[in-house]
Structure formats: structure tokens, C-alpha cells
Amino acid sequence: MNHLVCRDDVHELIATLRTLYASQFNKNFPAEGKNSIPMQVVEDRVAKAMIGVTTEQFQRGLLLLSTSGNKFMPSFADFRTMCIGEDWWNAQKAWIKACDYTKITKPKPVTLADGSSQYRDITTLAKFALDQVMLLINDGEMYRAKDEFIRLYEAYVLEAQIKGRFQEWYQERPSLAWSESEKKHVPVANDEAQQQLANLKAKINVRNRHVPKPQKLEANKSCAVIQNEWPDPFENPSEYQSMMANGFNRVLGGGV
């Protein structure tokens, strides 16, 4: 399990800085006077700067701080970089590696000391940030793509560090490939092939199949034929008018 920096580690860093850079530390964080800064405030600033830094990374940073021989006291942010600088790419390096990765047509794995292979062309977070700006890159907007990549990558790295994760290499998905046994064609016997062909012909041959005839519709002879007693007014207008007059006269005369 990766243990993060605790309050004792914060005290150890402050004590180391006050020992190596006494005058600079007292100038930056005076204990007396109107510009004095309480030590509790200094500890809180250190604790915030060390968020996500593991104990192993912190001890390495202390070792680098003690052996660097630098005459100027590093800021808390600089000390954080000393702790995790070797474990994570910075945003600029990640962008350069991402640009190089887009030029690789066929990534090649690297053989490790234990005999296993691993891809080491780009890290997981760099690949994730690259995927989100590929549309900008394809549109030729490289400046916007770079700014967006750096913003995303820095946010992802900070989140990963807070969770105590380490940088991981992005591993390419294995490509689909046929084995030699699958590539080799094994022919069947001629008799078997002929039988399979005959079975196929029997399935698709519909010429000799029985096709039921559709039902034939016939008129019902029991139904009486309806005859129109009135002539057509368009084809026989005179007869129609005569029929109308006769009917009218019968009504006036009281006939049926």
C-alpha cells in the first residue's frame, strides 16, 4: 500500500529547510514583526503542496534536497517536483511524447529483463489526454490542441497523485491474427464434397415442390340479380323524363 505524506513528514521538511537555508527560510517566513507568519500557516502550506506525494517519493525528495548543493531554497512546489519528478512526465514532455506517438504506425514492444514484453511509447494518462484533443489535431488547430492537452494532462496527473497512483505505460491492444493452423486449408474428400453439394441443391431446388393453388372466387347463384327499373338519366334522358312524368301523374291521380 502506498502511504501518503503525514504531519511528521511536514515537520521533517520544515526542519530540513531551516537547517540548510536558515537565513532564507527566516526571511521568507519571519517569526516576528508585523510580517510574521505563524508556523501553523507554514505547515498548512507544506501539507497542501504535498497532497498525493507518497512516503517513498517524499524521502527521495529529502535526499535530493540534502545532496543537491543548491544555494537557493526551493519553494514547496519545487520540492514537490523533486519528489515526483522522476515518476511522472511533466506536461511539456507528455505533449512531445504524444506528438511522437501520432507518427508511429506500428508500435513495437520492448523486451524487459525478465523476458516479458511491454509497450513504452506513451503513458496511460498522456494517451487519454491525447484522445480528447485528436479532433483539434486533425483539424490542424495545433495551438489549441496543445493548450487543451496540457490543461487536461496536469489535471489528470494531480488527480492520480492524490489517489496515490503511479505512472503506467499504455499497452496496445493485441491485434487479431490467425494462427498457422487456422491459415492452413484442409481439403475434404471428393465423395464428401459431392454429397454436400447434392444436399445443397436439394435445399435450394423449388422446381418440383408442390405449390398450392389459390382459392377461386365464384359468384353465389342463389342471390337474385338486382334490375334497375329506372332508365339511366344520362344515357336515356327522354325515357327517364317520361318515367318521371308518369310517376308524377300517378301520384296526382292517387295511383300507386
In tens, the pLDDT along 56-67 reads: 888 888 888 888
Report pLDDT for 206.
65
Domain boundary assignment for the chain: 7-84, 91-162, 226-256
Please write the tens of the pLDDT for every residue from 171-226.
Answer: 887 665 555 555 667 788 888 888 888 888 777 776 666 667 778 877 776 666 65
Which of the pair, 109 or 166, is modelled with greater confidence? 109
pLDDT of 256 > 50? The answer is no
Cα gap 36→42, rounded to integer Å = 11
Give strand ranges (E) for 78-193: 110-111, 117-118
C-alpha cell recorded at residue 22: 536558515
Cα gap 62→16, rounded to integer Å = 8
**What's the gap between Cα 97 and its chain centre?**
21
**Which candidate, 63, 53, 61, 59, places its Cα nearest to that of 3?**
53
Report pLDDT for 139.
92
* 110 three-class SS: strand
Residues 45 and 23 sit within 8 Å (Cβ to Cβ):
no
